[in-house]
Structure 1
């Protein structure tokens, strides 16, 4: 089983089992589709490219009702990768029993929720991800890290998560 780390306010990693890409899927976790990975430039255009890729993918999968939320959250993850990480950035969208958007970058430093003060310019993006996604996390990779979030295909399933 593939473990992913969900980081909390203290920045400590908490192992959480999550099915990984196709070879590491847990029994019963059918892989329905993968879109990407798309390499993204280390420029401000990366966020708009990522949003277009997510919207196009969800439209193709007849899941356009998730597009607005997925676009917003992907923008946050890609923006964080551009601001706080180095190296190449890429996006992959995976469809299993949920939609999982994965952003990879070249930094092994895991993100964490932080308390932003009223005057702070940054520090609120992961709170949006935490509030709007059914789950999210980050995991070191061989060349950096992958930060991901999941959205259930049926929007009413989010209502029961307490988020």
Structure 2
């Protein structure tokens, strides 16, 4: 994961996330640190970390490349952005077993809204979480 800007209170923080082992744990810890610097309580930060973990984890597992992660402070919360270079769109599915398929359901439950933008190369998912 590339290093975020030095200013912890910056309104937007961006990273390029690789699919190297241990990256997802590093992403979770970094997101917690940023949210802490922004004054988020632990329980609300947990929701943001869960969504980031699902979205970035999907890129690592299914897109086989780097994810672009952005956190942007908004007036009433945070916007999460995760981009990748895979052409496959996200599909809300009914989980067949305990192995997966819950990510978009969590996104529905924990966010105030989310979108997927398809680009010529890849897609970008945005989700908003109220503080």
Compute the TM-score of the two structures, normalised by the length of structure 1: 0.66
Is contact 1:135-1:149 (8 Å) kept?
A: yes
* Higher alpha-carbon Rg: 1
Runs of 5+ unmatched residues, structure 2:
1-9
The list of structure 1 runs, each at least 4 consecutive aligned residues, that deviate by more than 6 angstroms after superposition, is none
Question: Which residue does the alignment assign to 2:25?
Answer: 48
The separation in 2 between residues aligned to 1:44 and 1:114, in whole angstroms, is 27
The yes-or-no answer on 1:139 pairing with 2:114 is no
1:10-45 per-residue CA deviation (whole Å, 9 max, x = no partner) reads xxxxxxxxxxxxxxxxxxxxxx81111x11121342
Matched residue pairs, number? 120
1:128 Cα offset (Å): 1.0
Q: CA deviation at 1:124?
A: 1.2
TM-score normalised by structure 2 residue count: 0.81
Describe the superposition over 1:64-114 as per-residue Cα deviations: whole angstroms up to 9, x where unpaired. Answer: 342111111111111111112133212110112230111111112210211
RMSD: 1.8
